[in-house]
Structure 1
Amino acid sequence: MSLQLSQRGQRFSQSLIRAMTRECKRVDGINLAQGLCDLPVPAPVAAGACRAIEQGHNSYCAAEGLGALRQAIAAHHQRQQGVTVSAEREVLVSAGATGAFYATAQALLDPGDEVILFEPYYGYHAATLELMECPARYVRLDAPHWTLEATALEAAVTPRTRALVLSNPSNPSGKVLSRKELAILADFVEAHDLVLFCDEIYAAFIYDDWPLVSPITLQRLRPRTVTLGGFSKLFSITGWRLGYAIAPPEVTEAASRLNDLVYVCAPTPLQVGAAEGLLQLDPTFFTGIARDHQYKRDLFCDALHKAGLYPHRPQGAYYVMADISQLPGEDDLERCHFLLQQTGLAAVPGRAFYHDEGGRDLARFCFAKRPEVLDEACRRLGRLG
């Protein structure tokens, strides 16, 4: 006798990102599929967590997070964006930015509420909404510039639409909204009385001096915005699962209760490490992240181009979407498997970021790798040229 799975348990399958990671491991390849930054953890972050463990900070903390980390997050946003945030009333720490999204979305959305997603989208945003039984409405942003148009927004909205989810900088496209596009978004959100979830986990990864304007800095969007962030990418600690939300006090209060029910709290000693990183690291650390990854972006995009895989050069984040239609295969999945077999490089098929056939000629590559690993990846791409 086997147990009968629920409809939910049968409906959800493993993400293509994890599937390609598994295939990459099987052939002992280079994993450019999953967003696994393999750089060293900054010393203050690691030392702070170790010291907290040694000093016995191993018990539950408040459901909304450790006070020291919430204060450090508020101070960080003040320094980086010039926005004043109440650490006590507006900051929630959770199990990664994904956990922060789940808790705040549960606090604001009911089953049946529609949510607008921008394509290409981040798969975990789409999956979370599906799990919550919140139907997605899609707004397509097309390569190479991924431009946001007001007409596309208006075509997607219905009387049941309650919110939008924005990834800025975007995973997977690397798109960063311009001031003009953000103004379009603000007009739309106000006109239709919507909530804006803005995932800014890649906020430190901005290239070519492109300005990142956070919706939370705009007076008319501040009361409507849930800002999502985290430390997985910033400090190369994806396995620590530390993220946060900044939201109006009533949202943070409700989300904290829900966070308690699902996650209880984020790991206490690891929160100490993240707080130490925000407080102790020199400002040049944060500017250096953008400089170093811009170099990696340019190196890898040049290698893709030479190999006949046209890259859509990102403005931010540490991924690049590339046109792989020149590779053998009927679609993106077959072409990504061909690439893995021929070069040992794993990428994510474009279909992972679309609800239809929009990604059939695309793949996403992660270039946040150690220099020697990225150099080897570029060398292997040369086999295709």
Structure 2
Amino acid sequence: MNFPIANRIADLRPSDIRLMTKECERLGGINLGQGLGDLQTPPLVRDGAINAILEGRNTYTPSEGVTPLRLAIAEKLKRDNGLDVDPEKEIIISSGTTGAFAATLTALLNPGDGVLILEPYYGYHLNTILLQGLEPQFLTLSPPEFTLAEAALNAAVRPNTRAMVLCTPANPSGKMFSDAELAIVERVAEQHNLLVISDEIYEYITYDDRRHVSPASVGRLGERTVSIMGFSKTFSITGWRLGYAVAKASLANAINLVNDLLYVCAPAPLQYGVAAGLQAPPEYFQNLRAEYQRKRDIICEGLNDAGLTPLVPQGAYYVLANISHLGFPDAKTAAISLLEQTGVACVPGGSFYQGGGGENLIRFCFAKDDATLREAVVRLRKFRS
């Protein structure tokens, strides 16, 4: 018997990221496609979770998260993001940043509402918008700077646009939005009464002494912003699925209602682990930035040597490379050819665009141990010959 599938998933397609991972596994290659970071989890975080398990902290928690973690997040937000937040009413712990994003969309928007996303975008943002019955709307930012212009942003807003999504530092481009660009967002959002959803999962992975700026800290943006943050990248615990949303109390209350229905609560002992991690000294975060900057420089040098032109990222741990001069008909063909020739997997740029703007780009993830990254660079150099 054939049962019909739901209309809400009719427009969803498997990600090219998953496709390239499968092809890489089939060929026994090095996967620089999917963001599968393999750095070690800090002992402070690991032992915090283990101790919580041994202490029996294995039952349901409040849907908004355990108090020690929300208190630690509030301190972190004040110290690092310039945000003064009530830990009891304005912080919701969820199942990863993707979980916080889904709960936010469900709680604050209605089917048919327009959500503006910036190209190149993170694919899970788009697919979650589609799954919620929302209308994705796009504004393309041009490489290599991906500058946000006020006139273009204003022109992209339609009558049914109710929200816009920012990702800073951005996946896949590594773009970090400046104070001036965020001031543009503030003016346009206020003019059109838009909700701003800010994904800041890579906030501690920034380069060349750049300062991460949380949109909610700019002007009056905090009144209309849901800041979505997490621990996966900062503590190398992508499989733990822990993130959180920060918003004014009325918005946070609605998000928590949906968070409870979707996830009940985030994993109890893991919450205590990241609460311990947030007590790490400043040197931990400084060393994290320095380590990733070294890895960025390794991959960018290797791409240049291979005849691929890197768009050097300002943050996050991905790099886009320009392949327009290589003569491939599209990015997927280029990515497959690269994998077959060198055994190194990347992701075609079309995965991050709706309008075909990514066909001259491929994306690499450099969240790898140094030995793996250097071997990938050796292999990539063969692509030129």
Shift of 1:327: 4.4
* Correspondence list, 1:28-107, <5 A: 28-107=28-107
Counterpart in 2 of 1:291? 290
- Paired with 1:179 and 1:248, the residues of 2 have a C-alpha distance of 22
| DSSP-derived class of the 1:11 partner | coil
List per-residue Cα deviations over 1:207-236 (Å, max 9, x = no partner): 111222211212411101100111111111
- For 2:36 and 2:321, locate their aligned partners in 1 and report how far apart those are by CA, in whole Å: 19
For residues 137-175 of structure 1, give each alpha carbon's deviation from its aligned partner in whole angstroms, at most 9, with x where no partner exists. Answer: 111110010010111111111221111000000100000
CA distance in 1, matches of 2:266, 2:81: 25
1-structure distance, mates of 2:3, 2:28: 35
Partners of 2:81 and 2:191 in 1: how far apart?
A: 26
The SS at the match of 2:286 is helix
Give the aligned residue type for 2:323.
I
User: Do the aligned residues in 2 keep the contact of 1:76 with 1:278 (CA within 8 Å)?
Assistant: yes
Q: Give, as a single letter, the amino acid of the residue that structure 2 aligns with 1:298.
A: D
SS in 2 for 1:106: helix
Give, in angstroms, the shift of residue 268 of structure 1.
Answer: 0.4
Q: Which amino acid aligns with 1:48?
A: G
* C-alpha separation in 2, matches of 1:326 and 1:306: 15
Aligned to 2:19: 19
In the alignment, which residue of structure 2 is the partner of 1:372? 371
Consecutive unaligned residues of structure 1, counting only runs of 5 or more, are: none
- Per the alignment, residue 303 of structure 1 pairs with 302
Q: Which moved more, 1:281-290 or 1:91-100?
A: 281-290
1:363 positional shift: 0.8
Aligned partners of 1:10 and 1:103: how far apart in 2?
A: 21
Aligned to 1:349: 348
For residues 204 and 163 of structure 1, the distance between their equivalents in structure 2, rounded to whole angstroms, comes to 25
| Distance (Å, rounded) in 2 between the aligned partners of 1:332 and 1:26 | 20
Give per-residue Cα distances to partners, 1:229-273, cap 9 Å, x unaligned: 111111111110000010110111111111111111110011111
Alpha-carbon separation, structure 2, partners of 1:124 and 1:316: 19
**Partner in structure 1 of residue 125 of structure 2:** 125
| Residues 218-367 of structure 1 mapped to structure 2, 5 A cutoff | 218-279=218-279, 281-327=280-326, 329-367=328-366
Residues 12 and 130 of structure 2 are in contact (CA less than 8 Å); yes or no, is this contact kept in structure 1? Answer: no
- Within 1, Cα distance between the matches of 2:81 and 2:125? 25
**Deviation at residue 289 of structure 1 after TM alignment:** 1.1
Kindly report the root-mean-square deviation, in angstroms, between the aligned alpha carbons of the 2 structures: 1.2
Give the residue type in structure 1 aligned to 2:285.
F
Unaligned runs of 5+ in 2: none
**The residue matched to 1:311 in structure 2 has which SS?**
strand
Q: 1:10 Cα deviation (Å)?
A: 4.1
Shift of residue 28 of structure 1? 1.4
Q: Is the 8 A contact 1:329 1:338 kept in 2?
A: no
Deviation at 1:198, TM superposition (A): 0.6
Give the Å deviation of 1:326.
Answer: 4.2
Structure 2: which amino acid aligns with 1:81?
Answer: N
Deviating beyond 4 angstroms after TM superposition, the runs of 4 or more aligned structure 1 residues are: none
2:185 corresponding residue in structure 1: 185
SS at match of 1:88: coil
Q: What does 1:99-248 align with in structure 2 at a 5 Å threshold?
A: 99-248=99-248
Residue type of the partner of 1:164? M
Structure 2 counterpart of 1:52, one-letter code: A
- On the 8 A contact 2:183/2:219 being kept in 1, the answer is no
State the one-letter code of the partner of 1:360: E
Aligned in 2, Cα 1:328/1:24: closer, same or farther, shift over 3 Å? Answer: farther
Does residue 31 of structure 2 align to residue 6 of structure 1?
A: no
- Find the aligned partners of 1:50 and 1:357 in 2 and give their Cα distance: 47
- 1: CA distance between counterparts of 2:219 and 2:70? 22
CA distance in 2, matches of 1:260, 1:243: 14
Which TM-score applies when normalising by structure 1?
0.97
Q: d(CA) in 2 for partners of 1:167 and 1:19?
A: 24
Q: Residues 180 and 9 (structure 1 numbering): CA distance in 2 closer, same or farther, change over 3 Å?
A: closer
Q: What number of residue pairs does the alignment pair up?
A: 384
The answer to whether the 8 A contact 2:32-2:366 is kept is: yes
- 1:29 deviates by 1.0
For 2:135 and 2:224, the matched residues in 1 are separated by 20
In 2: Cα distance, 1:183 partner to 1:260 partner: 34
Identity of aligned residues (%): 49
Aligned with 1:314: secondary structure? coil
Offset of residue 8 of structure 1: 2.9
For the residues of structure 2 that align with 1:44 and 1:242, how far apart are their CA atoms?
16
SS at match of 2:357: helix
Query: Does structure 2 retain, via aligned residues, the 8 Å contact 1:308–1:326?
Result: no
